[in-house]
Structure 1
Amino acid sequence: MINLETQHFNINRILLLIIGIWPYQRSPLIELQLILFLGTLISFIVFQLTTFITSECTVELIYKVLSSALFFICLAIKYNSFWINADILRSALKQLEDIFNEIKDKNEIAIIKQYGKRAKHITIGILLVSMCCQLIFVLLYICPYVYYIMILNNSRSHSSSYITTEYFIDEEKYSYLITVHRHVACLIGLLAMVATGTMLITYLQHTCAMLKIACYRIKLAFDILRNTNLKNERRSCKDIIRAVNIHSNAIKLSNFLITNFEGSFFFLIAAGITCLSCNLLRIASFTDDIGQLILSLTFIIILYIYMFLSNYTAQEITDHNEYVFATVYNVHWYIAPIRIQKMILFLLQKGTKSFHLILGGIFVASMQSAASLLNTSISYFTVFYSTQHN
């Protein structure tokens, strides 16, 4: 029996528990934790947007505020999507666990463990990258204080303007509290992006394992047919049926999860593309503010990594699905008994239609689409840049 929660999703479970959105064990205390964390993140976004109330609204100010506010909006969208889809996640994990608990073949279990281990490595890698990004964010705000105290021998507080905010209070007097709020919001947001993103990647890696098992069962079915007799033919038919079932379940589970996150992905794509364009514009308008340059580069790197990994994982689903039908085509199906040939021809007909994950109801997730998103962000940046200089 396979326990997904402890064997394959243990790191994801810890990350989601930290920010209060693990779909199980939703006690009142966890709900309070979630509200506080999400409230901190949303309040930081609000205090960035309130800048438009107290400052003169110029094109430069708009790009400056949106370049950071939209990034945190992306983080909030990811956080909120898992909160409102807790029932969907529970159902998806239950279905996946039920399918895996029916698997008894040691080679098939080894395939599941292989993809589970791969998902863990991806999760750890993304977590390390996010920790580096959080460290960069902290250093950007610490360095000015160190400069004033160590270099200029001046202990006065220094409020950095890398992220423009308006708290409607004396920001010089409460600079330390404002700094803490900024760092906590950033930490919560990055944890939310890592926890939710790696959870989806781990889930889809396990659907890839199911498709790999389908290939294994098809090959096993034809290995059995080498000794042609009625008993082997029945066993071969049974393996092909099992291959068809697990293939159908993999496709169904992938669509089930992605479809229920359709609205969240739509807003995430829109906010992410605009955020990339604004930060590219800030880099192109660079004068001598190294801190702002580093911050914009960090935002861009995080969004591009997220974009690449999400599309790469979806591309893997497509490739594994195509490999199932390539396996069907390459086996010696034409020398099999007529009954098995009919089953194989049915599979080949299904393989004529490619399978893709659709994000936001409009976007086909693939590596080609990732390149298209990159081109789109650059195109918007070009338009914004030309508008600013005209």
Structure 2
Amino acid sequence: MIRLENQYFHVSRILLLIIGLWPYQQSKLTRLWFIFLCSIQMTAIFFQFTIFLTSKCTFDLVIKVLSVTTILALSMATYVSFSTNTEVMKDFIEQLQYVYNTLKDENEHAIVEKYDYNAKLLLIIVTVTSFCGSIGFLITQCWPRFFDVILPMNKSGPHNILFVTEYFVDQERYIVLILLHMNAALVTGVAGLLATGAILFTYLLHICAMFRIASYRLECTIKINILENNRLKRKNVICNNIINAVDIHRRAMKLSDLLVYRFETMLLCLVIGLVVLMSLNLLRVSQIMLSKNDTTEILPFLSVILCVLYMFIGHSAAQMVIDHNSHVFVTAYNIQWYIAPLYIQKMILFVLQKGSKDLTLSIGGIFFASLECFASLTKASISYFTVMYSIR
């Protein structure tokens, strides 16, 4: 038997292993690595807020500090949430493993393979894009020092640090260590958001596959009724097919609700934090566009892109779950139920009654994950940006 976590969660597994959060490998060394990554981010947040002890607190300074610390704070929220829910993650995978072990039809396996391929393809694209963005960000900080070595000038001016920090040391002297610490914090923070988002996205795509299998089983019901001549055998096969369709549909709905329930606090923090982060960095982008001195600072631009992509992919996955659940209802409605025997029509009526209620992925009872919610959150971010821009 092929283990689900090795075949269908390969990309997510690698990303979670990098940050020490893969639930099936939680050794002492892995836990120490996880604590080390968290400590890097926590100290980075601390040394950014210490700037208020030595500098005058201005609106621009607050915006610049929060535009970076919010990323790290969101990452810490995902780190803590997943580290305390390792058993929940295992339970999700085991439930999917149980469902997939019951699949016998080659077409059903093909459906799972298709959705898994789509999940892996998107995750690879996002991972490569994030890696290239991180490399580009690091290069923009290192190239001034590189040219100082290749083409040294008679006068060495102060190095432009893209982070506002206070380490209570000579920043010119320890510039390399400061940049190393802050960049390590940002890279591990983005890696944490990417890895945790990847596993959630994979879960949702496999839930979509379960809904699609339920639709496929309903589609096969009428075909069996038409093709099978043996009445008793036909009745048994059709009943079993509808029962199996309802069972996997029920399990898919249960898993989607359980996923949101278990990570509700984290998801709520992510939604609110991403709106705040996008608003802050939009303001930073506007400041950079109006300034002639910060043309090399690309972190706010990358942060805005990260926020939009993260929210769009997450809400798109939730929209897919909603659409696939609705597709089960549409399939039950569109099949030729009127040519089936009365007892089959009654069973299909049960599916129609269950599907008449839309599936909603509610986050804290405030947000309902969907593309419509993504549009509303984006609009809210732009609104908050315009308010802050007008009062700066």
TM-score range, shorter chain: over 0.9
Measured in 2, the distance between the counterparts of 1:173 and 1:148 equals 15
Match of 1:169 in 2: 169
Is residue 374 of structure 2 the alignment partner of residue 355 of structure 1?
A: no
Describe the SS at the equivalent of 1:353.
coil
Measured in 1, the distance between the counterparts of 2:158 and 2:382 equals 35
Match of 1:129 in 2: 129
Shift of 1:203: 1.2
Measured in 2, the distance between the counterparts of 1:13 and 1:159 equals 39
Shift of 1:2: 3.9
Q: Which runs of 5+ in 1 are unaligned?
A: none
Residue 310 of structure 1 aligns to which amino acid in structure 2? Answer: G
Q: Structure 1 stretches (4+) deviating beyond 4 angstroms?
A: 154-158
For the aligned residue pairs, the C-alpha RMSD in angstroms reads: 1.6
Alpha-carbon displacement from aligned partner over 1:276-308 (angstroms, at most 9, x marks no partner): 11111122223111123x221100001110000
Shift of 1:368: 0.8
Match of 1:110 in 2: 110
Residue 3 of structure 2 aligns to which amino acid in structure 1? Answer: N
Match of 1:255 in 2: 257
Is residue 336 of structure 2 the alignment partner of residue 329 of structure 1?
A: no
Residues 379 and 257 from structure 1, CA distance in 2 versus in 1: closer, same or farther, beyond 3 angstroms? same
Residues 162 and 318 from structure 1, CA distance in 2 versus in 1: closer, same or farther, beyond 3 angstroms? same
Residues 61 and 362 from structure 1, CA distance in 2 versus in 1: closer, same or farther, beyond 3 angstroms? same
Shift of 1:122: 1.3
- Per the normalisation by structure 2, the TM-score is 0.95
Most deviating of 283-292 and 346-355:
283-292
Shift of 1:359: 2.7
Match of 1:120 in 2: 120
Measured in 1, the distance between the counterparts of 2:180 and 2:286 equals 30
Aligned residues: 387
Most deviating of 97-106 and 364-373:
97-106
Q: Percent identity?
A: 42
Indicate which of 304, 313, 333 corresponds to 2:317.
Answer: 313
Q: 1:214·1:244 contact (CA, 8 Å) conserved in 2? A: yes
Measured in 1, the distance between the counterparts of 2:2 and 2:322 equals 26
Residue 124 of structure 1 aligns to which amino acid in structure 2? Answer: I
Measured in 1, the distance between the counterparts of 2:243 and 2:157 equals 70
Q: Which runs of 5+ in 2 are unaligned?
A: none
Residues 260 and 157 from structure 1, CA distance in 2 versus in 1: closer, same or farther, beyond 3 angstroms? farther
Residues 187 and 216 from structure 1, CA distance in 2 versus in 1: closer, same or farther, beyond 3 angstroms? same
Q: 1:212·1:320 contact (CA, 8 Å) conserved in 2? A: yes
Measured in 2, the distance between the counterparts of 1:54 and 1:24 equals 46
Alpha-carbon displacement from aligned partner over 1:344-382 (angstroms, at most 9, x marks no partner): 111111122111212344211111110000000011111
Alpha-carbon displacement from aligned partner over 1:210-233 (angstroms, at most 9, x marks no partner): 111001100111100014623212
Match of 2:295 in 1: 290
Q: 2:12·2:195 contact (CA, 8 Å) conserved in 1? A: yes
Residue 313 of structure 2 aligns to which amino acid in structure 1? Answer: L
Q: 2:71·2:189 contact (CA, 8 Å) conserved in 1? A: no
Q: 1:67·1:296 contact (CA, 8 Å) conserved in 2? A: yes
Residue 386 of structure 1 aligns to which amino acid in structure 2? Answer: S
Q: 2:222·2:335 contact (CA, 8 Å) conserved in 1? A: yes
Measured in 1, the distance between the counterparts of 2:364 and 2:137 equals 30
Residues 237 and 44 from structure 1, CA distance in 2 versus in 1: closer, same or farther, beyond 3 angstroms? same
Measured in 2, the distance between the counterparts of 1:360 and 1:290 equals 40
Is residue 215 of structure 2 the alignment partner of residue 215 of structure 1?
A: yes
Q: Where does 1:133-282 land on structure 2 (aligned, <5 Å)?
A: 133-151=133-151, 153=153, 156=156, 158-226=158-226, 227=228, 229-282=231-284
Shift of 1:32: 0.7
Measured in 1, the distance between the counterparts of 2:279 and 2:181 equals 26
Match of 1:58 in 2: 58
Measured in 1, the distance between the counterparts of 2:169 and 2:360 equals 50
Is residue 342 of structure 2 the alignment partner of residue 343 of structure 1?
A: no
Measured in 1, the distance between the counterparts of 2:29 and 2:241 equals 48
Alpha-carbon displacement from aligned partner over 1:184-225 (angstroms, at most 9, x marks no partner): 112211221111111111111111111110011001111000
